[in-house]
């Protein structure tokens, strides 16, 4: 199947010119698929394998957390959770959640994660069904993209940690010994949700939404908070800044070695947030942190690491050079044809 630039709704061309991979109105993939290469391809097979492993891992992680809900809640009754605005080495703490409020937050957090996973899977199945199995469109659909990026993140992290270990530097994880195993389980599950809100929504989506509200009144600019608005010069700056802050936030406890690793992770999470939406970066972060919680999870993690390294090498060798054309990016999301209100009116 060959995707035409005329496929989709009347908003597709506007989103295409903004550099987005998907139309914010109808959700259709916007990339042109070369004839004769739509159904298969080496990278498509790798991505599907990643998706199967991530889906298994996601189901197992959620089942583990739900099955041990009582143990985790017992630990939560003795602690508080800080809600904050991240600044890197120090944060602005807004308030604390504790007691029943923290328990309710944990329930809502699990529900949101399950919803995000189900929504991404549904989007991928819809892309497969509507395109007749088009390999390129499925490859760029929400859940498959989340899985590929998760594998790349795990593979790159493994390579980085091994390289640092060879020269005598490893992240300091001794501080984890002070925590109960169920508290660690909560911390790992919570990071994927809370940190994506803090570092991606607050540091990327919120500034863009505020600027849009000032410049373009009468538009539903709050939709920018959900991500998926495509790349722009302003977005690129915020991605770098938020990733630096994300890296610095991991210095405390882990040491300087973790800063670079977290910075790389921040770039990938921010890319997923910008290109696909909040649900995709939450899935990535959740899977990156929780695969070691359940029996057999380490095997899934190792398999994803191996696949991720292969995918990363493929991406480097087959890099889309047009993506590096920063000068050609729009200055701000939604500036296509100067009709920002038209772009966001139906998003």
* Helix, strand, or coil (residue 96): strand
Residue 295 is given by DSSP the state T
- pLDDT, one tens digit per residue, over 326-344 is 887 788 776 433 333 333 3
Task: Decide if 168 is inside a domain.
Answer: yes
Count how many domains the chain has.
1
Q: Give the residues across from 85 on adjacent strands.
A: 92
pLDDT at 139: 92
Can you tell me the mean pLDDT for 233-255? 91
Evaluate if residue 29 carries a pLDDT over 60.
no
As given in the structure block, the two tokens for residue 160 are 């980085």
Task: Decide if 80 is inside a domain.
Answer: yes
Q: Which residue in 285, 120, 59, 103 sits closest to 191, CA to CA?
A: 285
Task: Decide if 171 is inside a domain.
Answer: yes
Evaluate if residue 272 carries a pLDDT over 80.
yes
Confidence grade of residue 23 (pLDDT, cut at 50, 70, 90): low
Does residue 126 contact residue 137 with C-beta atoms inside 8 Å? Answer: no
Task: Decide if 229 is inside a domain.
Answer: yes
Q: Which residue in 42, 40, 41, 46 sits closest to 306, CA to CA?
A: 46
Task: Decide if 11 is inside a domain.
Answer: no
Q: Which residues contact 64 (CB under 8 A, 6 or more apart)?
A: 185, 290, 293, 294
Task: Decide if 269 is inside a domain.
Answer: yes
**Residue of 82 and 216 predicted with greater confidence:** 82
- pLDDT, one tens digit per residue, over 117-161 is 999 999 999 999 988 878 888 999 999 999 999 999 999 999 999
Q: What average pLDDT does the chain have? A: 84
- Which residue range is the domain that position 188 belongs to? 42-345
Percent of the chain exceeding pLDDT 70 equals 82
- pLDDT, one tens digit per residue, over 56-88 is 999 999 999 999 999 999 999 989 999 988 988
Does residue 273 contact residue 145 with C-beta atoms inside 8 Å? Answer: no
One-character DSSP codes across 237-270:
HHHHHHHHHHHHHTHHHH-THHHHHHHHHHHHHH
What is the rounded distance in angstroms from the CA atom of residue 345 to the CA atom of residue 343? 6
Task: Decide if 23 is inside a domain.
Answer: no
**Residue of 248 and 170 predicted with greater confidence:** 248
Confidence grade of residue 187 (pLDDT, cut at 50, 70, 90): very high
As given in the structure block, the two tokens for residue 69 are 């809900």
pTM value is 0.85
* Helix, strand, or coil (residue 84): strand
Task: Decide if 225 is inside a domain.
Answer: yes
Q: Which residue has the tokens 């499925």?
A: 138
As given in the structure block, the two tokens for residue 15 are 């989103």
- pLDDT, one tens digit per residue, over 281-294 is 999 999 999 999 99
Evaluate if residue 178 carries a pLDDT over 50.
yes
Evaluate if residue 40 carries a pLDDT over 90.
no
């Amino acid at each position: 199947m060959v995707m035409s630039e005329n496929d989709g709704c009347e908003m597709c061309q506007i989103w295409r010119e903004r550099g987005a991979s998907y139309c914010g109105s109808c959700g259709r993939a916007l990339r042109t698929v070369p004839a004769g290469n739509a159904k298969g391809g080496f990278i498509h097979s790798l991505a599907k394998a990643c998706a199967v492993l991530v889906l298994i891992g996601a189901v197992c992680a959620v089942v583990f957390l739900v099955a041990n809900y009582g143990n985790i809640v017992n630990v939560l009754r003795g602690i508080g959770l800080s809600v904050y605005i991240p600044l890197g080495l120090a944060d602005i703490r807004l308030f604390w959640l504790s007691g029943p409020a923290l328990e309710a937050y944990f329930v809502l957090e699990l529900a949101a994660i399950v919803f995000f996973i189900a929504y991404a899977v549904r989007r991928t199945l819809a892309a497969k069904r509507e395109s007749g199995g088009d390999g390129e469109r499925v490859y760029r659909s929400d859940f498959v993209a989340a899985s590929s990026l998760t594998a790349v993140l795990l593979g790159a992290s493994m390579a980085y940690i091994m390289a640092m270990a060879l020269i005598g530097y490893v992240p300091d994880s001794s501080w984890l010994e002070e925590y109960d195993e169920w508290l660690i389980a909560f911390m790992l599950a919570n990071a994927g949700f809370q940190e994506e809100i803090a570092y991606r929504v607050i540091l990327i989506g919120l500034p863009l939404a505020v600027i849009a509200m000032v410049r373009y009144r009468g538009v539903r600019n709050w939709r920018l908070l959900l991500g998926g608005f495509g790349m722009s010069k302003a977005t690129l700056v915020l991605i770098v800044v938020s990733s630096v802050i994300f890296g610095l936030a991991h210095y405390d406890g882990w040491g300087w070695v973790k800063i670079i690793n977290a910075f790389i992770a921040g770039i990938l999470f921010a890319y997923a947030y910008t290109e696909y939406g909040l649900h995709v970066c939450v899935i990535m972060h959740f899977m990156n942190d929780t695969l070691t919680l359940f029996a057999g999870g380490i095997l899934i993690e190792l398999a994803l690491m191996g696949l991720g390294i292969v995918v990363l090498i493929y991406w480097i060798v087959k890099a889309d050079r047009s993506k590096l054309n920063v000068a050609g990016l729009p200055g701000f999301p939604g500036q296509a044809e100067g009709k920002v209100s038209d772009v966001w009116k139906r998003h």
